[in-house]
Amino acid sequence: MGAQVTFEGRAWQVTGLVDGRVYLVAEDGATGCVLAVRLVSAPGFSVTGPTEPPAPALWETVPLAAQERALAWLRHIREVETGLPGGPVGGAPRPEYDPRRFTLAEREEVKARELAALGWARASRTTVQRMRLVYQRQGLWGLVDKRHLRTGSATGRTDERVVAAVLEALRRRRGRSKTTTLQIIELAEQIVADTHGPARVKLPGRSSLYRLVKALADPAEPPGSAARTATGPARSGGPPPALRPAERVDIATARLGLRAVGEDGGVVPVAVTAALDAASGCVLAAVLHPPQDGPVQLSVLLAEMAVPRPQRPGWPALLEQAHAGGPARRLVSLPERIEATAARPAAVPETLIVDQSTAAVTSAVLAVCESLGISLEPAPLRTAGAKRGAVRTLEVLAGLFARHATTAEEAYGAGQAVGAYWSMPQLQDLLDEWITVRWHQRPQEQLRHPLLPRAGLAPKEMWEVLLGVAGMVPLPLAGKHYGELLPARRCALTDSGIRLGGRRYDDACLDEHRGRGQRWEVHHHPHDPRQVFVRLPDGLLHAVGWAQGEHTLHPFDEMVRRRTGGVLARRGAGAQPSIETRDGSGAAGRTADVAAVEGIAGAMTVHDADGGGAGGHIARDTGGFGVYDPRAEAELW
């Protein structure tokens, strides 16, 4: 509320936030209303200027003396900037503050001397400049002395990890009459070392630890006293409730009851790792991957959840290609899908609840989270027969999507084993479409108000409701940050482009940098092969598309992929095909060279290892060559 934003090339002020819609007013009196998710994901959107005034409820918590001092600073800053204490509202400025005669630095120096004469402590020019700059960023709220807002804490500034270790040590030693405070401190130090590694957490001095144990211990049962009740395992009241969108986001993994065609042509199981908003149930990110490849990198999930899809490089073209490469009957048309995907929530989370077996956390990810202000919280330990709410929700999602994918496959006429027809990118595209069109529109039991137990909301509806209640919109990142968050590696740039993962990526922006003999920084999505991002000498990441990306979406190439998968499956089962020519020479177990095959005249016979054969001839296309089998063609059609 009150924030100044730039939208569609104009400056606006936020005047209202109701049901996920932002109400705006421009300087010339024009008004507007736009969905919050569309506003923050629109090209050119930014938050500018001070957010003045602060929320009334927040301003009332400031002591009266701090309010008066902030308002006094406001008058002095306005005089430095405009020459008038009340701002540019008419009148004549004092001579020493006339902007036409003195520079801004000179006016800051004059104001510092004036404040020092009035008895303001530490009123230097640097202080005046700092207060002026913080007012430009935060408005009147930035001028408030935040020391008046700090509340006392029993643990002071002690690291939260040390506090948690002391609480755990108190629990373990509870009820032991001979336990001393020193034993609890030593046990807490051991817990910190076992949990976070030796010397990874800085411990306070022994005297501070003594005070900490005394502050955290139960006054009715100090260390060394007998327990009044029987001891038992630690029980928590559950995680704190999430009241705002993107306040707490859970990372969870679940198995799909599907199989997909892997990159080697074999059939692989499929798992989904998703980021679920705890308050609204929205899926901010969902990545499919083979379970045997290990956990998904947390930086990939951050890129998926924090950058709106319309701002990602080449998003409309990539979506159009993916839409054309799946089943003919879609849930919605391509224009409707673009419209729905553009309104899908995206935000930088405040807290991520992560299980290290679910998402890989590296030092680089920790640095990114620190810079973005994201707190990382370990997932609670599972008790016997219990699951996290996010895991249960994701398992329901996985089951419903598996049913949808199976139905789509049967309608597509695959005619093969369930889940063994789709490739991983095709299955990922189906999942994205299904989450946007079905899951976010599906009422859920856990999204019910206690006073309305029979009215469950859909995740998208709950997101809009909570935006209006919270009075603030969680901001996402810009499109340029998408590639920056993805994992990086060094690759060579040849005349044919960049080779990565058995694929070739090429673009005209690489022409002037070929043949330099150096390796370039390349960012890539491990589970999305459609494009990579190369950092060129200008310091920016440039999107470079997969050279064969469009070619692999043609119907004939889809047929080639299916038949290639069948050949690889037979090879894995022990059947080694052989190519026999008229002279009787065989090439069993070997890969035929294209030039050699082109030089063979006459017909060819294809034999399986069991001796069965089928007459055929060489069929060519732009993608290479293949063996035409009339029986297989009849079965297909």
The reported pLDDT for the residue numbered 153 is 56
Structure tokens at 606: 């294809």
* Mean pLDDT calculated for residue range 247-271: 85
> Is the model's pLDDT at 559 over the cut of 60?
no
Q: What is the mean pLDDT of the chain?
A: 75
d(C-alpha 122, C-alpha 143), whole Å: 15
Least confident of 19-33, 91-105, 561-575, 590-604: 590-604
Q: Is the peptide bond before 53 cis (omega within 30 degrees of 0)?
A: yes
Range from 47-56, 161-170, 364-373 that averages highest in pLDDT: 161-170
Structure tokens at 371: 């810079």
> Is the model's pLDDT at 43 over the cut of 50?
yes
The reported pLDDT for the residue numbered 564 is 62
Q: pLDDT-derived band of residue 155, with 50, 70 and 90 as boundaries? A: low
Pairing state between β 375-378 and 351-354: parallel
* Mean pLDDT calculated for residue range 130-156: 72
The residues that bridge with 340 in the sheet, in sequence order, are none
> Is the model's pLDDT at 231 over the cut of 60?
no
The residues that bridge with 297 in the sheet, in sequence order, are 360
Three-state secondary structure string covering 121-154: CCCCHHHHHHHHHHHHHHHHHHHCCHHHHCCCCC
> Is the model's pLDDT at 494 over the cut of 70?
yes
Least confident of 163-172, 220-229, 585-594: 585-594
Within 10 A of 161 (CB to CB), how many other CB atoms are there? 16
> Is the model's pLDDT at 411 over the cut of 60?
no
The reported pLDDT for the residue numbered 29 is 72
pTM of the full structure: 0.58
Q: Buried b vs exposed e over 539-574: b needs ≥16 C-beta within 10 Å?
A: eebebbbbeebeebbeeebeebbbbebeebeeeeee
d(C-alpha 634, C-alpha 637), whole Å: 5
* Mean pLDDT calculated for residue range 269-291: 91
Report yes or no: 191 and 165 within 8 Å, Cβ to Cβ.
yes
Structure tokens at 569: 């499956």
Q: pLDDT-derived band of residue 465, with 50, 70 and 90 as boundaries? A: confident
Range from 45-54, 525-534, 599-608, 609-618 that averages highest in pLDDT: 525-534
Q: pLDDT-derived band of residue 160, with 50, 70 and 90 as boundaries? A: confident
* Mean pLDDT calculated for residue range 94-100: 86
The reported pLDDT for the residue numbered 558 is 54
* Mean pLDDT calculated for residue range 605-611: 37
Residue 122, burial from CB neighbour count under 10 angstroms (0-12, 13-18, 19+): exposed
For 473-507, give the DSSP string. ------THHHHHHS-EEEEEEETTEEEETTEEE--
Q: pLDDT-derived band of residue 533, with 50, 70 and 90 as boundaries? A: very high
Query: Which residue has tokens 């070619």?
Result: 551
Q: pLDDT-derived band of residue 616, with 50, 70 and 90 as boundaries? A: very low
> Is the model's pLDDT at 284 over the cut of 90?
yes
Contacts of 462 (CB under 8 A, 6+ apart): 279, 280, 281, 282, 447
> Is the model's pLDDT at 274 over the cut of 90?
yes
> Side chain identity at 564, as an amino acid letter?
T
Three-state secondary structure string covering 380-423: CCCCCCCCCHHHHHHHHHHHHHHHHHHHHHHHHCCCCCCCCCCE
Upper half-sphere CA count for residue 184 (Cβ side, 13 Å): 31
